[in-house]
């Protein structure tokens, strides 16, 4: 009787079986009508994935920067950087009734790398007993900070070329969001937060030896690069390659260019920040014709100094944070995208309203 029930259950069609049969039929039709199309699709995907994985992460400074940033981040943690930040931000965050540990990822992001920030700060949030809402606030706030110090420095150089006063912009675009964004999210979307006093928090400085910290963090950084970042990047750019082969991606890029211009962000560097690398975008800012509206430069600077590109938001960040916290990948992606929407709005507002006060005549 049991075997008959199993046979009956196996004979029923499941949704994935229907999808599989449809895929087989479509593949047979495509092979019959245009036998070269599948090879062309794979070629398009390879051309989309290879430059990013090989040229950006394996044979350039970016891959090494990930490993170095993890080492630096762990050294900062060992030297008491986390506990120092907690001391500074406890009074402010206690007034807002938010766990002060939500600030930690943003600080490590600015000084190190967005991947190191999640790897280091995720366990810190758990150790500080941060709620899931506070962990999401931490992700959304981290996205407001530049994902590497090089992006920040190159951006300052670009601002100087256009005679834009950088100091107010740094305060409003880099440091203010570390406090303002948690408050906004606490009052609107992520309301499950709690007031924490200093004595309720443990100390976060590890007791490992400095030599062990250096070598173990180097191994950790290598693992993050090869087992987390590169697989996530490959998945995202496979999807982009499929869209490009289908002729869908080109209209999407054109729409992005129009949208960025409308939002007071220089189109080419905005797309570079969004799809490739913010560091490359701010490096290109200095080469933009001087006739460009300074508002677009300010907007581009603010957007580049964020958690972009998009494959970081939907690939690397969720992979790292789902491993380091008790958040699900979809929860991390949602928080990261909310943070990016806030960042784009910030770029638009600062570009439109602050630029006239920043341009040095």
pLDDT digits (tens, 9 = 90+) for 177-211: 988 999 999 999 998 888 887 777 777 777 888 88
pLDDT at 333: 93
**Mean local confidence (pLDDT), 5-31:** 76
**Mean local confidence (pLDDT), 78-104:** 82
DSSP assignment of 268-299 equals HHHHHHHHT-HHHHHHHHTTS-TTS-HHHHHH
pLDDT at 250: 86
**Whole-Å CA distances, 104 to 14, 77, 121:** 46, 10, 6
* Calpha distance 228→115 (Å, rounded): 9
More confident site: 120 or 289: 120
Across 7-141, where does the E strand assignment appear?
none
Here the tokens at position 123 are 């366990």
The confidence band for 345, taking pLDDT boundaries of 50, 70 and 90, is very high
| Mean pLDDT, all residues of the chain | 82
The pTM score is: 0.77
pLDDT digits (tens, 9 = 90+) for 293-314: 778 888 888 888 888 888 888 8
CB 335 within 8 A of CB 136: yes
DSSP assignment of 145-162 equals S-SBHHHHHHHHHHHHHT
């Amino acid at each position: 009787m049991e075997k008959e029930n199993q046979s009956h259950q196996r004979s029923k069609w499941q949704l994935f079986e229907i999808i599989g049969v449809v895929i087989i039929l479509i593949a047979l039709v495509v092979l019959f009508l245009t036998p070269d199309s599948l090879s062309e699709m794979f070629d398009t995907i390879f051309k989309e994935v290879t430059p990013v994985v090989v040229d950006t992460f394996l044979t350039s400074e970016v891959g090494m920067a990930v490993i170095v940033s993890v080492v630096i981040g762990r050294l900062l943690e060992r030297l008491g950087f986390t506990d120092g930040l907690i001391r500074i931000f406890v009074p402010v965050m206690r007034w807002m009734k938010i766990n002060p540990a939500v600030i930690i990822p943003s600080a490590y992001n600015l000084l190190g790398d967005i991947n190191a920030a999640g790897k280091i700060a995720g366990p810190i949030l758990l150790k500080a007993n941060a709620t899931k809402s506070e962990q999401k606030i931490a992700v959304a706030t981290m996205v407001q900070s530049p994902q590497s110090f090089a992006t920040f420095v190159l951006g300052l150089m670009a601002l100087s070329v256009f005679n834009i006063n950088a100091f107010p912009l740094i305060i409003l675009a880099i440091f203010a969001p570390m406090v303002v964004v948690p408050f906004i999210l606490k009052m609107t979307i992520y309301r499950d937060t709690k007031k924490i006093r200093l004595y309720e928090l443990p100390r976060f400085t590890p007791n490992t030896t400095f030599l062990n910290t250096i070598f173990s963090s180097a191994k950790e950084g290598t693992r993050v690069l090869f087992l987390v970042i590169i697989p996530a990047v490959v998945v995202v750019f496979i999807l982009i390659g499929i869209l490009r082969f289908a002729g869908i991606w080109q209209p999407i890029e054109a729409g992005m260019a129009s949208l960025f211009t409308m939002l007071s962000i220089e189109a080419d560097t905005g797309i570079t920040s969004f799809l490739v690398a913010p560091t490359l975008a701010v490096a290109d800012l200095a080469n933009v014709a001087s006739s460009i509206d300074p508002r677009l430069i300010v907007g581009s600077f603010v957007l580049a100094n964020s958690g972009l590109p998009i494959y970081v938001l939907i690939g690397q960040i969720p992979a790292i944070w789902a491993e380091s916290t008790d958040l699900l990948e979809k929860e991390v992606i949602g928080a990261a995208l909310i943070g990016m929407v806030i960042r784009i709005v910030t770029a638009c507002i600062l570009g439109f309203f602050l630029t006239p006060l920043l341009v040095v005549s």
